[in-house]
Amino acid sequence: MWSNAMRICKGYLPNKLSVLQEEYEKEAAKKGSRGVAQAGEWEQSGEYARAVECYLKVKDSTTDPLMEKCWMTAAEKAVDVIHAVGPRLTQLRKYSDAAELYLSLDLIKEAIDAFIEGEEWNKAKSGQGAGSKV
């Protein structure tokens, strides 16, 4: 029911979609596995940030393995977000920001590439503290 409501809202009232999404997330978070299902829907639609938020909101103390799986999936999706955002930052010529984002996950090669693209030679050479990982 919720997925249909969101699909219709997205098509006819896109400015109200965020309100509907928040309402659904509140309901889904109360119900554990439904929160996981919603997070999966966000993943499939490419809404990784919302998927991560949804995974982190799952609270079901009776199923610790479910909680662990949600947290691990949230971490994996966060990495996916960084891989998606980094190239966009470089397109905007925000090379240093992209490199810092990559460094936050120890993606040294990507960080150095961003520094090089931004002609920040000293930072690229040092790997901005990466040291022997280069």
Where is mean pLDDT largest: 22-31, 76-85, 88-97? Answer: 88-97
Look-up of token digits 């969101």: 6
Of the listed ranges 43-52, 77-86, 93-102, the one predicted with least confidence = 43-52
Look-up of token digits 């998606």: 84
Share of the chain above pLDDT 90, in %: 21
| pTM of the full structure | 0.50
Task: State the average pLDDT over residues 65-91.
Answer: 86
Angstrom distances, CA of residue 69 to CA of 33, 43, 52, 55 = 11, 15, 12, 9
Task: State the average pLDDT over residues 83-90.
Answer: 92
